[in-house]
Structure 1
Amino acid sequence: MSQYSHVKYTTSPTPSVVSGYSGASRLTSHLPPPVNHRKDCLSATTKSYKYLRRLLKFNQMDFEFALWQMIYLLIAPQKVYRNFNYRKQTKSQFARDDPAFLVLLIVCLCVTSLGFAYVLGLRFLQSIGFIFYVIGVDCLLAGVIIASFFWAITNRFLRTNSLEPDIEWGYAFDVHLNAFFPPLMLLHCIQLFFYNWLISHTWFISRFLGNTFWLLGMSYYVYITFLGYNCIPHLKNTRLILIALPIIFLLYLVVTIIGWNATISFVNFYKYRVY
């Protein structure tokens, strides 16, 4: 018999290795699932309640990041929507959970509306009523209607299949707010510097400049709206939104040729609402 016959070989791991594997197994079993696959995601009502509750808690808002978004909506809107995708991966929602952007947008509306009221020659109380009308109707009420329309259309017709998650209404409203900001700067701010001494006249250059401002503002709104839905991977045929662009350009040519100044009509409509 060989001198090594009493030695027994085994291929089983050592106790320390076994304990290590079991510990890793227990650790893995206690890890939370990826955020996109959790079943305990907050409901839409809960998300809305948390969002509205933070509206008056200014110390919890990230105004610096909201200001960054506003700047990039003017110069590179694609970068803004990359952040929405990051939020979906980390917080399981596309919609903003920080109302800082909405607060800054309302501040911008107040400031630009005061400038508009000055151009219109409104008195103090008329100016206050004008500001509330612009915020409540032109921005928020119109936003609710437009967001509800796109929310219904995208969920009904643009999802690749019915098993994909619904588009959040809050995200549709965020897309409206994003798309609303650049036209606000063009039509309620920059345009005012040209109104009294140029756009308000009956010259061709007056209506050309006034209508061009509207062309840029409406085109910007459509393009940023398109970017908002195009960045969602499970939506199809989002380029249909861009069909509005040639229609807007055709209307621009028609109204300019027939001698209609959209800016003057817009200002007269505002005067009619406040007087």
Structure 2
Amino acid sequence: MNSKHQSSPAPSRSVSQSSIIRAGSPLPVPVSYRMDCMSAAAKRYKYLRRLVKFQQMDFEFAFWQMWYLFTSPQKVYRIFQSRKQTKAQFARDDPAFLVLLSAWLCGSSIGFAFVLKLGFVGFIKFLLYVVFVDCIGIGLVIATFFWFISNKYFIKPSCRDQDVEWGYAFDIHLNAFFPSLVILHVFQLFFYHVLIRHDWFVSRLFGNSLWLLALGYYIYITFLGYSCLPILEKTQVLLYPLTILVLVYIVTLVIHWNVTVWLMDFYKNRVL
């Protein structure tokens, strides 16, 4: 005889993980399940779609990253490692950093327009050049180059089934570009007319030293970005360009080449 209190059958093993997730579990979705199957194109689409959804962007966290890129860039890359564990990708999925960087580019371009005495049309040309050539254009080339060599030469033999995401390579460029932007396109402007543009040794020393600091920072932050990946080895070779940079810096002082004045003239001729 069947009992009234017959126990309910055990849940079927065929229940999908997605239905369990919809049940409201507070735990993060396992890395093995989350977005691993999402293609690179789908990730890019999701990222670009969020560019117009400002209310969903974490600007406070993006400000935090910008601050620590100056004071302790290692902390920024620890966040990238955590993202890999929780979202199955190293690259940013929140465009807030890119939006804030765009605001910095606009603000610094206004400063350049004032220092170089550019009109409104000249300002627009300069802004477009800085955004689409200096930041995006050169960034695409650098990110693609490092993405290629890191996957071809730096992957550990035991990790050949993994790779460095191109989006992460571009994020490294943006991380390294931001401190250089502030040093060369903001801080440097305050000293251009009063010191740097004069034909004095101290002018060349100060101006060229700012370029040494900015480019050295770019190389160092780029190195940190790749060295923090556990699937890569021998990333210390990315620091070798620092030696070449120092040698070029010494040569510019010896031959009386004021790099800042030369590039200011270059920018001005590009927009006139």
> Does the pair score TM above 0.5?
yes
Q: 2:62, 2:97 within 8 Å by CA — same for their partners in 1?
A: yes
Does residue 1:58 correspond to 2:64, yes or no? no
Q: How does 1:114-193 map to 2 (within 5 A)?
A: 114-161=110-157, 163-193=160-190
Task: Summarize the Cα distance change of 1:169–1:253 in structure 2 as closer, same or farther, 3 Å threshold.
Answer: same
Residue 197 of structure 1 corresponds to which residue in structure 2?
194
TM-score (norm 1): 0.88
How far is 1:41 from its partner? 2.5
- Distance, in Å, in 1 between the alignment partners of 2:194 and 2:16 is 71
Q: 2:34, 2:87 within 8 Å by CA — same for their partners in 1?
A: no
How far is 1:45 from its partner? 0.2
- Distance, in Å, in 2 between the alignment partners of 1:237 and 1:24 is 50
Structure 2, unaligned stretches of length 5 or more? 1-6, 22-28
Does residue 1:88 correspond to 2:84, yes or no? yes
SS of the aligned residue for 2:240 comes to helix
Residue 214 of structure 2 corresponds to which residue in structure 1?
217
- Distance, in Å, in 1 between the alignment partners of 2:122 and 2:251 is 34
Q: 1:150, 1:172 within 8 Å by CA — same for their partners in 2?
A: yes
- Distance, in Å, in 2 between the alignment partners of 1:245 and 1:125 is 37
Residue 34 of structure 1 corresponds to which residue in structure 2?
30
Q: Deviations over 1:80-111 (max 9, x none)?
A: 00000000000000000000000000100000
TM-score (norm 2): 0.88
Residue 110 of structure 1 corresponds to which residue in structure 2?
106
Runs (4+) off by over 3 Å: 22-34, 36-40
Q: 2:35, 2:87 within 8 Å by CA — same for their partners in 1?
A: no
- Distance, in Å, in 2 between the alignment partners of 1:87 and 1:25 is 33
Structure 1, unaligned stretches of length 5 or more? 1-18
Q: 1:151, 1:169 within 8 Å by CA — same for their partners in 2?
A: yes
SS of the aligned residue for 2:252 comes to helix
Match of 2:43 among 38, 44, 47: 47
- Distance, in Å, in 2 between the alignment partners of 1:85 and 1:252 is 34
- Distance, in Å, in 2 between the alignment partners of 1:245 and 1:259 is 21
How far is 1:128 from its partner? 1.2
How far is 1:36 from its partner? 4.4
- Larger radius of gyration, structure 1 or 2? 1
RMSD: 2.2
SS of the aligned residue for 2:90 comes to coil
Q: Which amino acid aligns with 1:182?
A: P
Q: Which amino acid aligns with 1:113?
A: S
Q: Which amino acid aligns with 1:187?
A: L
- Distance, in Å, in 2 between the alignment partners of 1:85 and 1:163 is 19
Q: 2:35, 2:88 within 8 Å by CA — same for their partners in 1?
A: no
Percent same amino acid among aligned pairs?
A: 57
Residue 16 of structure 1 corresponds to which residue in structure 2?
none
